Amino acid sequence: MYNILLSLHNFLRWVIMFLLLINIIRHISAVNKPFTGLDKKLGLWLMITAHITLLIGLYQWFAGGLGFQNIKNNGIHTVMQNGMYRFFAVEHTVGMIIAIIIITVARGVFRKNITDSKKHKRCLTLYVLALLIILAFIPWPGMENISRPLLRSI
């Protein structure tokens, strides 16, 4: 079960990045156009995918060996001194939670009583920020001690 969810978590990161890019392109191209139902739906699909990925990630953090169990077994001091342990127990987790909060805030922009142009610009800014945070905290192949495959098999 854990490995299936790990593979799903890995796959969903690509879906999130794809949806982020689609949203970014959409808001760049529509900056002087009305904020439409398509903008709302794209934001909703991104938010849903991000939240599902978050739930899977939280399960992994509690059930897997690199999150809570690692802190419980080795102590926070040891975890914080080891780069790989710290990355998965703290940095990756906190970074992704922040990115998902930003995605969620961007989803709520359409409810604001501001011009459509400002809505597009705010969403664009928030989505770019979320994408940069996600890119910074993914364990990319080649990263010393923390690298993971681009696509994980089941």
pTM of the model: 0.92
Task: For 53-113, give the DSSP string.
Answer: HHHHHHHHHHHSTTTHHHHHHH-HHHHHHSHHHHIIIIIHHHHHHHHHHHHHHHHGGGGSS
Confidence of residue 154 (pLDDT cuts 50, 70, 90): low
The answer to whether 32 and 132 have CB atoms below 8 angstroms apart is: no
| Region for residue 139 given its phi and psi (left: phi exceeds 0; alpha: psi -120 to 50; beta: otherwise) | beta
3-state DSSP assignment of residue 13: helix
Is residue 135 predicted with pLDDT exceeding 70? Answer: yes
pLDDT, tens only, 28-74:
999 899 999 999 999 999 999 999 999 999 999 999 999 999 999 99
- Phi, psi (degrees; rounded to nearest 5) at 64: -85, 175
